[in-house]
Amino acid sequence: MTTDPATDGRSPGIRPRPSTVTLRDVAAAAGVSKASASRALDPTSQYVSSELRSRVLEAAGRLGYSPNASARATTTGATAMVAVLVSDIRDPYNAEIVHGVIEQAARSGLVATFAGTDHAIDDEIRAVRMMRSLRPHAMILTGARSGTTVSRASLEEELERYTQEDGRVVIAGDDELPFDTAVVPRRRGASELVAALFELGYRAPAVIRPDHDSAAARQWEDGIVETAGRLGMRIGSDAVVRAPMTRDGGYDAVKGLLRRGAARPDVVLAATDVMAFGSMSAMRDAGLGPGTEIGVAGFDDVVGTEDVTPALTSVNLALARVGAAAVELALTKPAAESRRVEFEPQVVIRGTTPVRHD
């Protein structure tokens, strides 16, 4: 019996597996030592020049080299992975931060993996325990969270255990946990939004806040209430409504406000842009024009704010940059004290809040 040398006795169509490219091959192709190649391929290494890293990464890509994740975990204690715990991936706010994480992780030679937590601290604790078994280089927690004081303490303990295993923890959002944080400037952004609306002639805002209690919601509302009080703007108790952080939540909140028959607000401030979109629909269904009869302002400045009619006034929080900064914090050497990176909010005035002349 003869065999086809192309198949070497195997069934037709089954090709022999290509030879495995080794780290030594990559080092030779890049013209560096094996040790230098290893450091260059480690995104956490602080002692590699950008030129050398680029040369080694180019050689690895050209040769199709894939590091052995299990071997790396054995030798370094972690895989080239960043685990992201997301409260709600459907929320455009979280999606913008995650987008920044993914892009910066890829630039840094890391793979991002995700777990949903549905805003609940107990779910976060379970996710942290699960992710620890994967031995990621870092965990990034994003989004608002709600839970008891006891569950919050349990989350901190679980994250501390992970850091004791040389893992890095970064919070992308609010500095309510004692770890490095890329801060979303909600309080300052809300304050600057109210001040800008006051300059445009608005005096009687209604506030649609999230129906769950969290540091994020409190910071946003505090920024609004404090600045409105300082400027003499009226926010009655009946003008503050709790609602789910969804389009329908915003719709039902404004529908309820208008049904009460109380003094009509001159502008509606929604905790998120998505809630603001729902608010605009409720106004139209009630025969009112968003931006003409009642102003509307959202928060986050997510994709789509410029595409609604009229375009939505919002506050740009540099969310993608917050996600990227979280990865950068995870890749730098930890400091004795928790570090805090914050970006400047930017109020973006659009068609839903024109100058008021009355």
pTM of the model: 0.71
Residue by residue, pLDDT tens for the chain (358 residues) are: 444 444 444 444 434 434 477 888 888 888 888 878 877 777 656 667 878 888 888 888 888 776 654 444 434 445 788 999 887 777 788 888 999 999 998 888 888 888 877 767 888 888 888 888 888 889 998 866 777 788 888 989 989 998 888 889 999 987 778 899 998 889 999 999 999 999 999 999 999 999 877 778 888 999 999 999 999 998 888 889 999 988 999 999 999 998 886 678 999 999 999 999 999 999 999 999 999 999 999 998 988 889 999 999 999 988 899 999 999 999 888 777 889 998 889 999 999 999 987 6
Q: In 33-116, which residue ranges form alpha helices assigned H by DSSP? A: 34-41, 50-63, 69-76, 92-107
Element (H, E) at 182: strand 180-183
Domains and CATH numbers, the chain: 1-67 (1.10.260.40), 79-184+320-342 (3.40.50.2300), 186-316 (3.40.50.2300)
On average, the pLDDT of the chain sits at 84
pLDDT in tens, 207-232: 999 987 777 888 899 999 999 999 99
Place of tokens 């006051």: 198
Q: What angle do CA 294, 297, 298 make, to 5 degrees?
A: 140
Position of tokens 């309820």? 256
As a whole number of angstroms, the distance between CA 54 and CA 141 comes to 29
* pLDDT of res. 325: 94
Separation between Cα atoms, residue 39 and residue 160, nearest integer Å: 27
310-to-254, 293, 330, 353 alpha-carbon distances in Å: 17, 12, 40, 9
Nearest Cα neighbor of 357 from 175, 158, 202, 196 is 202
Do residues 296 and 280 touch, judged by C-beta distance below 8 A? yes
The helix, strand and coil proportions of the chain, stated in percent and rounded to the nearest 5, come to 45, 20, 40
